[in-house]
A = this chain, B = another copy of it.
């Protein structure tokens, strides 16, 4: 071991902060709180308990919990035990959970008692899981929970698991031998096909944490609220980044407006992350009010509308817009703020902020490319803000590959770059702007129409709260866009109002064929609109949609 190199790992962030800030608050949940020394001790107790339960280096350990302290602690405890963390989306169907556990060859599964009853049916079928650990949320002990032990499963409570900790006297080392080793496997939501297991390395998570620190501005006075699911992209590495900065992390079980506002006020929250649905939840809460301090909201998937941005800025929020995928540890690009944007009018400024931006400080330059015929050479599209191409990324903020899927990995890395499947344009200033998922693009009369572009145009209407656009069958054009619109509280608006509003804002061929008003849009647990369902309904009875 050379004295001038330490393998990079986010484990070092907690071990340092536990030494430097032992008595400083690290973690809060309800009335309970943990100092950094206590958080470290909790991780060590669990690491010993996992080893006592037979977990060996490289074994996979799955956690299926909401944003409770146990889930945050797992980000340290599992790698500290030498194992690989598999965070599981709490909204998955039992069959999906089974698939992930089997595919990742999980040895031990920790599951929230609230989610356990649904899993009892598949539990006996799990191929590699030897131990199931039921973790009860002390703040929700009054909820109906299951503790069934189906035949053929070894089920223990978290308390029972932890009792084993003292039996393990092996040494725990807050360091790793190889920074390229796999830290966690995060399964994609898999809207089509089976979910894929995205492998994160210790090095990648360490470096990505510094991008989070720089771009969200984490510091010792940070109070971070966990509105982003921890199971999603390992919580974008934020559980590691905030600990590196020495801030405090506030857990919450459910992302509901009243709870969020209570925590914002009680803990002086300075930062929170989340999908647009989180932003909407916060802004639509009855409790919403002007802040007495600045709060940075780092948001992905889609930017807030100009009206929303204006309202949020006035209330004390500062929006950081980022873009990435599970395959890029969460955010890869950031809509880096430019001083001169302050001089723009609201709409122009919002248009700048709506773009996905540039590679973060530890990321490489993001590219928008077309692929030549042999599929290997990637050619940058002109930076003309109009030529669409695929977003590709590479480097330290890109996954190692898909777990046990060399074929999908090779395909994703064709030409030496990770292919996002997202279509974007490159602006002359080097900022990318997403136009669509490749599979969501509407092909109308041979023209590609970006549903995101149409959605943004509609969301600029002050009476529109939320909007989704999908391609629907059209006898003449093949497809035409259709808009599903959620109207803001108290507003009254017609289809004609929307179409009239679009007339000067959008090329005619991009205009929706019709507008349907809906009370709410179907979304995934991570806040992405489920266009698939909307499309299904519209296409039923028609021939299969023709893809450009």
Q: Residues of A at under 8 Å CB distance from B?
A: 1, 3-6, 8, 12-13, 15-16, 19-22, 24, 180, 201, 203-204, 207, 210, 213-214, 217, 219-220, 244-245, 336-339, 358-359, 361, 364-365, 394-396, 398-401, 413, 416-418, 429-430
Q: Is the CB of A364 within 8 A of B6?
A: yes
Given contacts A19-B430, A214-B213, A430-B20, contact A4 B359 (CB under 8 A): no
Q: Is the CB of A20 within 8 A of B358?
A: yes
- Contacting residue for A24 out of B6, B20, B203, B339, CB 8 A: B339
The interface residues of chain B lying within 8 Å CB-to-CB of A394 are: 3-4, 6
- Contacting residue for A5 out of B180, B337, B338, CB 8 A: B180
Copies in the complex: 2
The interface residues of chain B lying within 8 Å CB-to-CB of A358 are: 16, 19-20
The interface residues of chain B lying within 8 Å CB-to-CB of A22 are: 429
Q: Is the CB of A1 within 8 A of B416?
A: yes
A-B contacts, 22 of them at CB < 8 A, read A1-B416, A3-B394, A3-B416, A3-B417, A3-B418, A4-B201, A4-B204, A4-B394, A4-B395, A4-B401, A5-B180, A6-B364, A6-B394, A16-B361, A16-B365, A20-B358, A21-B336, A21-B338, A24-B338, A214-B219, A214-B244, A244-B361
Q: In chain B, what residue has the closest Cβ to A416? A: B3
A211 to chain B, nearest CB (A): 10
A433 to chain B, nearest CB (A): 15
Could you list 14 further interchain pairs (A-B, Cβ under 8 angstroms) beyond the known A3-B417, A6-B395, A13-B361?
A: A4-B201, A4-B398, A4-B399, A5-B180, A6-B396, A8-B396, A15-B365, A16-B358, A16-B361, A19-B358, A19-B365, A21-B338, A24-B338, A210-B210
Q: Is the CB of B244 within 8 A of A4?
A: no
The interface residues of chain B lying within 8 Å CB-to-CB of A417 are: 3
Chain A, interface SS category: loop
The interface residues of chain B lying within 8 Å CB-to-CB of A201 are: 4
The interface residues of chain B lying within 8 Å CB-to-CB of A219 are: 214, 217
The interface residues of chain B lying within 8 Å CB-to-CB of A336 are: 20-21
A500 to chain B, nearest CB (A): 38
> CA A247 – CA B411 in complex, angstroms?
39
The interface residues of chain B lying within 8 Å CB-to-CB of A413 are: 3
Q: In chain B, what residue has the closest Cβ to A412? A: B3
Q: Is the CB of B180 within 8 A of A359?
A: no
The interface residues of chain B lying within 8 Å CB-to-CB of A207 are: 8
> CA A333 – CA B339 in complex, angstroms?
34
A349 to chain B, nearest CB (A): 17
- Contacting residue for A245 out of B1, B214, B337, CB 8 A: B214
Q: In chain B, what residue has the closest Cβ to A415? A: B3
Q: In chain B, what residue has the closest Cβ to A199? A: B4
The interface residues of chain B lying within 8 Å CB-to-CB of A203 are: 5
The interface residues of chain B lying within 8 Å CB-to-CB of A16 are: 358-359, 361, 365
Q: Is the CB of A4 within 8 A of B213?
A: no
> CA A437 – CA B187 in complex, angstroms?
54
- Contacting residue for A400 out of B4, B15, B220, CB 8 A: B4
A422 to chain B, nearest CB (A): 17
The interface residues of chain B lying within 8 Å CB-to-CB of A19 are: 358, 365, 430
Q: In chain B, what residue has the closest Cβ to A12? A: B364
Q: In chain B, what residue has the closest Cβ to A244? A: B361
The interface residues of chain B lying within 8 Å CB-to-CB of A8 are: 207, 396
The interface residues of chain B lying within 8 Å CB-to-CB of A429 are: 22
The 10 closest A-B pairs by CB, nearest first: A6-B395, A3-B394, A4-B398, A3-B413, A20-B358, A210-B210, A19-B430, A3-B416, A6-B396, A4-B400
The interface residues of chain B lying within 8 Å CB-to-CB of A12 are: 364
Q: In chain B, what residue has the closest Cβ to A361? A: B244
> CA A214 – CA B203 in complex, angstroms?
18
